[in-house]
Amino acid sequence: MSTHHPRHIDVAAFAGAGAVLERDDAQAGFERLLTETGGRNAERAVHWRAEGEREQDASGHARHWLHLRAQTVLSLTCQRCLEPVDMPLTVERSFRFVATEAQAEIEDEESEEDVLAVSREFDLLALVEDELLMELPLAPTHATCSSRPAFSVSDADFDAAEPDKPHPFAALAGLQPDKGGQGTGD
Ligand SMILES: [Zn+2]
């Protein structure tokens, strides 16, 4: 029924029609997401929904909007134990479209809104991917790692960190004659 292909959206027409596209696309189709997961669980879906909206501003000019929602679960690598960790990502943003790239750049800086240039061949899936990538945590970790940490603290550091713990040889040291008690003072 829909003539809107998600890789080639005519933004003005999409917004003007108040069109809605809602799909599940496998992560396998998103090259940059695959770079993050190393291709793990690539059959998992990216669920996304885009809704166009056209409104009139105060001076009667049409303003085109795209309201985007997307969610998926990426299998990332835990930075503590280096095992896979499932990371749910959610995006919910609205974009306002203006006539040219130059205008979009200016308005994007000046306003709180996300502003993009209108296009007749807008790649909606690239936008979905861009936005999901922006939600990536800097250092994904399990809440609680089930396996041993890849980088364990050495025994020496462990002892230093627990000064109250008696050294196993402390008792033996007590049995030895006191050699340091004479002639070494100030
Ligand atoms: Zn972990």
Q: 145: CA distance to ligand 1 center in Å?
A: 4
Structure token pair of residue 87:
């990371």
* Residue that has been written with the tokens 């960790």 in this structure: 85
pLDDT band at 164 (very low <50, low <70, confident <90, very high): low
Q: Which pTM was predicted?
A: 0.75
Q: 119: CA distance to ligand 1 center in Å?
A: 43
- pLDDT tens sequence across 141-155: 999 998 765 555 554
Confirm if 148 and 81 have CB atoms less than 8 A apart: yes
- CA pair distance 135, 127, nearest whole angstrom: 13
Look up residue 101 and give its amino acid: E
Gyration radius of the chain over CA positions:
29
Q: 79: CA distance to ligand 1 center in Å?
A: 7
- pLDDT tens sequence across 81-121: 999 999 999 999 999 999 999 999 999 999 888 999 999 99
Q: 143: CA distance to ligand 1 center in Å?
A: 7
For the chain, which residues make up each domain, given as ranges? Answer: 11-134
Q: 87: CA distance to ligand 1 center in Å?
A: 12
Q: 76: CA distance to ligand 1 center in Å?
A: 10
**Considering Cα of 128, then 129, then 134, then 137, what sign does the dihedral take?**
positive
Q: For residue 185, what pLDDT is reported?
A: 47
